[in-house]
Structures are given as structure tokens and as C-alpha cells.
Structure 1
Amino acid sequence: METQYDLIVIGSGPGGYTGAIRASQLGYKVAIIEKYDVLGGTCTNVGCIPAKALLDSTEHFHQAKEQFTTHGIELSGGELKLNFTQFIKRKAEVISSNVSGLNYLMKKNKIDVHVGRGSFLDSSRLSVTRDGKVTELTAKYFIIATGSKPSTIPGVVIDKDRIITSTEALSLTAQPKSMVIIGGGVIGVELASVYARIGTEVTIIEYTDSLIPTMDRELGKALFKTLGKLNIKTLLSSKVQSAANLGEQAAIRFLDNKGAEQEIFADYCLVAVGRKAYTEGLNLEAAGVETEKNGKVKVNAQLQTNVQNIYAIGDVIDGPMLAHKAEDEAVLVAEVINGQKPHINYNLIPSVVYTWPEVASVGSTEEQLKAQGIAYQSGSFPYSASGRARAAMDTDGFVKVLVSPQYGEVLGVHIIGPRAADVIAQSVVGMEYEVTAEDMYRISYAHPTYSEALKDAYLIAAGQGAINI
């Protein structure tokens, strides 16, 4: 393999491999550095993809248990059972398939893959160390795409045994009878859904007074109710003080919403309080790259560090930790290096929670608009009034749109309901091209579809009545 490149990407997650591919398409000689034996980073191997595989599997199980009889589907020959070993095996097969796809893309785009830990020697050289063997590489440009790792809180030490992260929760060898999840954000509620659907007793302890607290508060309230239908116990405004491994169980001490000290026991304590930028071993000082106080890499609007030829993207810089954000940033950097002038509208990067019903959001929340003193009109339409949702027995949730009363500009769209992750895309397109609320309700929507709820929400926000069912 060559040792001199136009561009070296450190990290092979969604941001890393997307940046490498785009740079190769633009004619650059590219290498990618990955410290693990497989490509794909957190998202492919221990994050987005395996989580969605388990979420889909458990949703099928839950439907079979709760809805099949109503649909006229009867299970003969015994009770419904979960083969937990096969459940985890299928997740592993999905990961393997994705990794194979990435290997193919690297070969197709003539991208060299160096396996090992990358560490800067200076601003134009880095070493790759694997099993004691060191290879020195040079490049004109670098992209730091090393992602993030799970973080924790004071009093809680992750031992990967009884006090675990999402990584371990996605690969347990047996179904736990009980689980306490610290944190009611995206990771917490998704994994709560996975295990509650298959019969694990799940308790979420959330420090703030709402689930998914970074999203519109109405979404958090609605999700609280839907998770309750899965018998998930959610303790809001509660502060965890400590977690201890007792051998066969974990013990979690916390202050409840009245300030009283409580203790709860479970087979596992899953810590889902967020993630932190991962730059360990990069030796950024040797390259002269500056970092923020929180450990994230400092970048400008072009995602360039203080060192002219070194860029950083994804979880390792400020902003939401989303795979698609990292992908957009990766393409931007490759095109900036190529002399182009791309842009990213960070306000229009959608956020999604893959519970069921799904949650999706783009633009401003009501809370943000109120805090900024921005006038708006709100229109909400419930899925209980949707013919498509009734046919599918998926009537939980709603669509809410926030619109400027002056020009009809769409300020925010917030959905909790079936296929929200897909339905939100239409609003992202509309907002990107500054389509008005009237334009959004005058275009044709196929009937019956989940997306029709959007049309009615826009109609209501514009002061008209809903017309679909």
C-alpha cells in the first residue's frame, strides 16, 4: 500500500467513509485509518444499525403478541416465544452485511484502508500502529472523523458487566429480567423500547422533567404516554447519585422528583446520558490542532481547524451527534478542499427517534420560538383521525407544524407517529427551498398515506380546517 496521499481520513464511521468516497470521486488519492478490524465506526457496529435491527425485530414480536389476533392472524401450536440467541444473531448478520458493503465501496473507489491507531507526528505526517508495527503516512490534507464514546455522570462507573453502555446492551447473551436506564434521551428510549417489548421490566430515570428533552416538549409528553403502554416506568426530574455492581444485580441510588432518596435494583444498569468526543491517542498537540474545553475539536464554518490542512467533522466537533450530520459535513469538507462552495443549513438537519411510534423533528421547537420572541401559528393533526393509521392500527401520535403568520414560512415540523422518520423528509425539502405552508397543503398527497397528516396540519396552521380522513 502507498504511504503518500492527497487526503487521509481518520475514522471510518458514516462521516469518515462518506468523506473518503466523495474525495475519491473528486479525483484525490485517499486513505482511511480505522483502529478496529472492521469499518463503519460506532453507527454501523455498535450504534444506529444494530439498534434499528433490534428495534425492528422487537416491533415484529410486539405486533405478534398484541395485534395479530385483531388482524385475524392466529398462532397455532403453542405460545409465542422469543429466541434471544437468534434475535442477537440476526442483528450481527445485519452488521456483517453492512461492513461487507463498506469494504466493497473502499475497493470500488480505490481507497486504501490502514488498520491501526492513527497518531499525528506533525501537520503533514501521522503514524499508524497495529500489533507493535508502525507505518508512517503523509498527506496534504486530513479529516478527523474519530466520533464519540459513551459518557457517564459522577457516582456511576461503567464496568461493562452490570453497569453497561449501549454497546454492551446491543450484545447481551441472555434476555435480562430487569433493566434500569439512566437517561431518557434518544439512546435511552430506543433501548428501553427494545427490551420492554420482549418482556424485560424497564425503568428510565431522567434528570430533566421531559423525555427527549432536546426536542419539542409535546413530543416528549406523547412519548411518555406511548412508552407507558409498554409498561416502561419513567421517573422524571430524578437525579442518579450512584450505581453499584452487586454481582448478580446492579443497585442504583437516586433522588426522586420530591428530593427523597430512593434505591432500585435491576439485572443491568444501562448508562445513556450522552456521548463525548473521542480524540484519544490522536496526538493533536503534535499537529498543533486546538480543542475546546469539552474536548471537541475547534473548527471554523468550513470545518477547518486552526491548522490549515486539517479538518474535523461529526461527533468530534460541536453540534448534534447524528450520523447524517457527519455525512453532510464530510461531503462539505471534500468539496471545500476541491475549491467548491457547498453549505449546510444546520437548522434543517432532522432529528429522529426510532421508538414506535417514531419521533422526528426539523427546524425550531415551540420553546425556541417563544424564547426568541418569534411569532408563529401552530397546526396539529392527530393520527387517530388518519385513515391509513387506522388501517394499520397505528393511531398514536400527531403532526405539528409551526408557521410564520406573516409570510407562511415553515419554522418547524414535529411528528410522533408511524413512519415519522420517513415522513419528515418532505418537510425538510420544503423548508430547504422556503416553500410556504400554503404551498405545502396545495400539493397532492397520495391517499391513504401517513404523510396526509402533514397536509392537514398545514391547513390548520393556515387557519383552515382539516379535509382528509
Structure 2
Amino acid sequence: MVMGDIATGTDVLVIGGGPGGYVAAIRAAQHDLDVTLVEKDAYGGTCLNYGCIPSKAFITATDVAHDAGNGGVMGVVADPDIDMAAMAEWKDGVVDQLTGGVEQLCKANGVNLVEGTAAFEDEHTARIAHGGSGQGMETIEFEHAIVATGSRPIQVPGFEFETDPVWSSRDALATDSVPDELVVVGAGYIGMELSTTFAKAGADVTVVEMLEDALPGYGSDLTGVVQERAAALGIDFGFGEAAAEWESTEDGIVVTTETEDGAESTYAADKVLVAVGREPVTDTLELEATGLEPTDGGFLETDGQARTDVDHIYAVGDVAGEPMLAHTASQEGVVAAEVIAGEPAALDYQAVPSVVFTDPEIATVGMTEVEAADAGFDPVVGQMPFRANGRSLTTGNDDGFVRLVADGDDEFVLGAQIVGPDASELVAEVTLAIELGATLEDVARTIHTHPTLSEAVMEAAENARGRAIHTLNR
């Protein structure tokens, strides 16, 4: 400890106030542990402040404008005008409400909140550097620590985010104006979500991607529906191209890309959004003081109880590796807190839903048919197209389908792949079915409200059993 430091002690030190950290802190405090949560930026972390929530706010708002402007087939004729500054102000209000709520919940549960940047001094001590002139340092001794420092956008050489025309996803979600022309580098979930958002807001969007398809990792039958809708919005794609450089022009910038064989293409733009993935934030923690060594990618390896190689130090969320999802981080935070409290908690990743909030949405959970077969099952598959679902037709969004995968012997539900309206909501039913060990018959015999999109889940279950009524059986 340095002379002049303030020294305090705590049962549980949580570093990072995102969806993994603040949830862990609250749950640990609910077990009557003394908990200190250190956050250097804003409570709620990247998800609430600069990612999940602001992006969904922009997605929803631009959907409203797009749907209104394309409602002629329903007899609704409108020419909406987007005020991006007003939209950004509304988005900020949503974010402020949620982040303020996180802070209040932490305080109400007795969590000690400390603003600053934490770094380890040894296995049981951390130093907190407080922001601002003259704020000084603080030393905290802890029995247990939970690392929940999250992730940050990966930078592409030559496309550093501090340069004005180059956007990170955080920059894009902080804008109060729409660029006339936008180049997006990366066709992963962040790139595709924001491409769709800005296209609906009026930008001419071009997406360049090193691979040959958008949303790598999802099946082409899912992503194909999204790419077709993106093309209909006017989004252009340059597949097999890597961003090489950019330069300023009198009218904006020009982005140059290269293929593997050296062929170049150029794209004019006002802004370039780099969305090629995220990397864990562990380099600021001085982990060597604890004896912890991150992987080559910067992640902290953990066991089934979120414990690192140092038994009393845990890691949750993006720093612990895939799946890098906010809801996974929260569950890992709960498990870490309960293990520290002496509860018999453990992580279970068999039913972790993954969602892409594109137009239409994609949602998956559990196994695909191929994965089920590789795991030794004899899978059966049922599918229900939204074009045969009454509710989807009444919304004007009938692209896509619900697909269920089950074990052919006992009919236990193993997974689902959904592309279409409200896929993010529909996947919850299948996630619960997998978690509870439900069968196709359980899902099919559950009475679903008519007319709803959820009926497509029921019909997919019936289709897998060869008993569907509203679509042809396979």
C-alpha cells in the first residue's frame, strides 16, 4: 500500500459494472456478503450504454420510419421524416433510465459502488485509480474477486477509431446525424444490425466482408433471408474483400479493399464503420500480480463455476470467452456469486440462445440437425414457414421460418433455428423446452394463442412428428 492511500476491505470485489458484474454484485449482496463494485466508466457497461440497448433503440426507431414509409400495401401512405438528433435524444433517455436503475438496484441491495480503474497488486489486493484531478488512489483488500471487465471493438490497422471519419460501433451509436454514404467493414452481427439501421435511416450503405457470406457461423438458409432483405433496402455487399486503407477526398473519403489475389476495389463514403469483432479487456488489470495468465487472445480460462486458475478469483462475461453475450454474462455472474456464497451452483450452456437483431431477426438455441447427428442422436426436424402463419401475414412480415430439431427416438427437443419476425422473443419458448427436457409432443400439445407468431413453434413441433396441419408434412 502506498502512503496516503485509503485502505478498505471487502468480501467480494467485482471489477466491472456491466451485465456480468452488476448482476454478480447484487446476487452476492443478496447472500449477505460485503460487496464492492468498481466501475471506471458507466454502470451497465458497454451493453446498456454503448451496445445492446442504444442499438435496439435505433433499430426500433428506424423500423417505425421504414414501416410507415412502406405501408402502402396496407393502405397506409406516409412519407416519414427522420430527425436523427431527436432520435438520439430519445435513445439517450432510454439508456439513462436503465443505467440509473442499475445504480439504484446496486445501492438498494447494499453494494458498495466505487468509481475508478482497478488493477491487482497481489492475489488479495487491488488498487483503484480514481478519475479526475486530485482524486487519488484507493487500496481494497478482498477475499474473493470477480473480473467482469468486458470487451472492446477490435481495430483494423490503418482504421484507428480516434480518426474522425472512422467509426467504432460506439461512435455510430452516439451519432446525431446520418451519413449520406456509409461503408461498413465486417458483416457480423454488429455490422449487419447497424447496416440495416442506417440504410433505413436514409444512408447509402456498402458492407465489405473478408468471408464469402454475411453473418458467418449461421446457416446460409437463415442468413440468405437477411441478405435478401438487406439488398432490398439498397445495401451493397463486397464479399471476399478486406479493408486496406482509406484516404480523404474533397467530398469525403475513399475506402480501398483488397481480395486474396490482390484485386482492389474502392468505395466512396462519408464515414467508415469498423465492426470486425471484439476483444477482451484484461490488459489493464495487471493480472501477473495474481499469477493469472490470459490466453493468447487475452481471455481468462474458467471452469464450470466461473473460477479461474486462482481459486478465489472468478471471471464472467466477455473476458471469459465465448459465448460473448450479455445474457450469458449475467448467468455467469449469478453462478460466481452463488459459488462464493457456498451454494452448489454451476454453469450450464446447453440452452444459450443467440440472437441477431437484423431485419428479419435470427435466433438460434441448442443444436442444429448436423450437430445433433454428430453428437450421436438420430435427429428429426420440423419446420413452419411464416408465410403460412396468419399473424405474420397480418404484420406484413412473412419471410422466414421456425425450425425445431429433436431426438428421433424420444422426441426430446434439442435445438431451434428461427429467422423471421420477433425471432428474439420466439426462441425463449424453445430455450425453456430444452432446459426442462420437454418433448415435441409437450410443445405441440401446449395450447398457443391464435393468431400469434408463437403458433409457428407449435406447428414446427407437429411437423417434426409428421402431424402438422397448417403446413405440408415432410
TM-score range normalised by the length of the shorter chain: over 0.9
Q: TM-score, normalised by structure 2?
A: 0.93
In the superposition, relative to structure 1, how do residues 109 and 245 fare at CA in structure 2: closer, same or farther (>3 Å)?
farther
- Distance across 2 between alignment mates of 1:244 and 1:172: 22
* Residue 31 of structure 1, aligned match among 20, 32, 36: 36
Give the structure 2 partner of residue 6 of structure 1.
11
How far has the Cα of 1:372 moved from its partner?
Answer: 5.6
Give the structure 1 partner of residue 357 of structure 2.
354
* Residue 141 of structure 2, aligned match among 126, 138, 141: 138
- Distance across 2 between alignment mates of 1:65 and 1:347: 41
Give the structure 2 partner of residue 254 of structure 1.
257
In the superposition, relative to structure 1, how do residues 345 and 46 fare at CA in structure 2: closer, same or farther (>3 Å)?
same
Give the structure 2 partner of residue 92 of structure 1.
92
- Distance across 2 between alignment mates of 1:144 and 1:283: 12
Give the structure 2 partner of residue 17 of structure 1.
22
Q: Could you tell me whether the CA contact under 8 Å between 2:243 and 2:256 is conserved in 1?
A: yes
Q: Could you tell me whether the CA contact under 8 Å between 1:235 and 1:256 is conserved in 2?
A: no
The SS at the match of 2:138 is: strand
How far has the Cα of 1:366 moved from its partner?
Answer: 4.0
Q: Could you tell me whether the CA contact under 8 Å between 2:404 and 2:460 is conserved in 1?
A: yes
How far has the Cα of 1:397 moved from its partner?
Answer: 1.3
Give the structure 2 partner of residue 169 of structure 1.
172
How far has the Cα of 1:290 moved from its partner?
Answer: 1.9
Give the structure 2 partner of residue 434 of structure 1.
437
Moved more, 373-382 or 180-189: 373-382
Give the counterpart letter for 2:99 in structure 1. Answer: V
Moved more, 137-146 or 225-234: 225-234
Give the structure 2 partner of residue 457 of structure 1.
460
Give the structure 1 partner of residue 3 of structure 2.
none
Q: What are the equivalent positions in structure 2 for 1:262-301 lying under 5 Å apart? A: 262-301=265-304
Give the structure 1 partner of residue 114 of structure 2.
114
Q: Could you tell me whether the CA contact under 8 Å between 1:190 and 1:355 is conserved in 2?
A: yes
Give the structure 1 partner of residue 105 of structure 2.
105
Q: What are the equivalent positions in structure 2 for 1:41-120 lying under 5 Å apart? A: 41-67=45-71, 69-75=72-78, 79-120=79-120
Q: Cα deviation per residue 1:391-442 (whole Å; 9 max; x = unaligned)? A: 1111111111122222222222011111111110000010111111222112
- Distance across 1 between alignment mates of 2:395 and 2:206: 29
- Distance across 2 between alignment mates of 1:6 and 1:248: 58
Q: Cα deviation per residue 1:258-281 (whole Å; 9 max; x = unaligned)? A: 863211121111111110000132
Moved more, 362-371 or 197-206: 362-371
State the number of aligned residues: 464
- Distance across 2 between alignment mates of 1:338 and 1:14: 19
User: Is 1:399 paired with 2:402?
Assistant: yes
Give the counterpart letter for 1:24 in structure 2. Answer: A
How far has the Cα of 1:140 moved from its partner?
Answer: 0.6
Give the structure 1 partner of residue 206 of structure 2.
203
Structure 1 alignment gaps of length 5 or more: none
User: Is 1:220 paired with 2:241?
Assistant: no
Q: Cα deviation per residue 1:282-314 (whole Å; 9 max; x = unaligned)? A: 111112222111111122222111112110010
In the superposition, relative to structure 1, how do residues 237 and 436 fare at CA in structure 2: closer, same or farther (>3 Å)?
farther
Q: Percent identity?
A: 34
Give the counterpart letter for 2:322 in structure 1. Answer: G
- Distance across 2 between alignment mates of 1:153 and 1:34: 27
The SS at the match of 2:67 is: helix
Give the counterpart letter for 1:345 in structure 2. Answer: D
- Distance across 2 between alignment mates of 1:82 and 1:123: 53
Q: TM-score, normalised by structure 1?
A: 0.94
Q: Could you tell me whether the CA contact under 8 Å between 1:352 and 1:358 is conserved in 2?
A: yes
How far has the Cα of 1:367 moved from its partner?
Answer: 4.8
Q: Could you tell me whether the CA contact under 8 Å between 1:163 and 1:245 is conserved in 2?
A: no
Q: Cα deviation per residue 1:97-116 (whole Å; 9 max; x = unaligned)? A: 11111121122111111111
In the superposition, relative to structure 1, how do residues 2 and 457 fare at CA in structure 2: closer, same or farther (>3 Å)?
farther
Q: Cα deviation per residue 1:142-201 (whole Å; 9 max; x = unaligned)? A: 000000000034554333421211000011232100111111111011101110001101
In the superposition, relative to structure 1, how do residues 99 and 295 fare at CA in structure 2: closer, same or farther (>3 Å)?
same
Q: Could you tell me whether the CA contact under 8 Å between 2:402 and 2:416 is conserved in 1?
A: yes
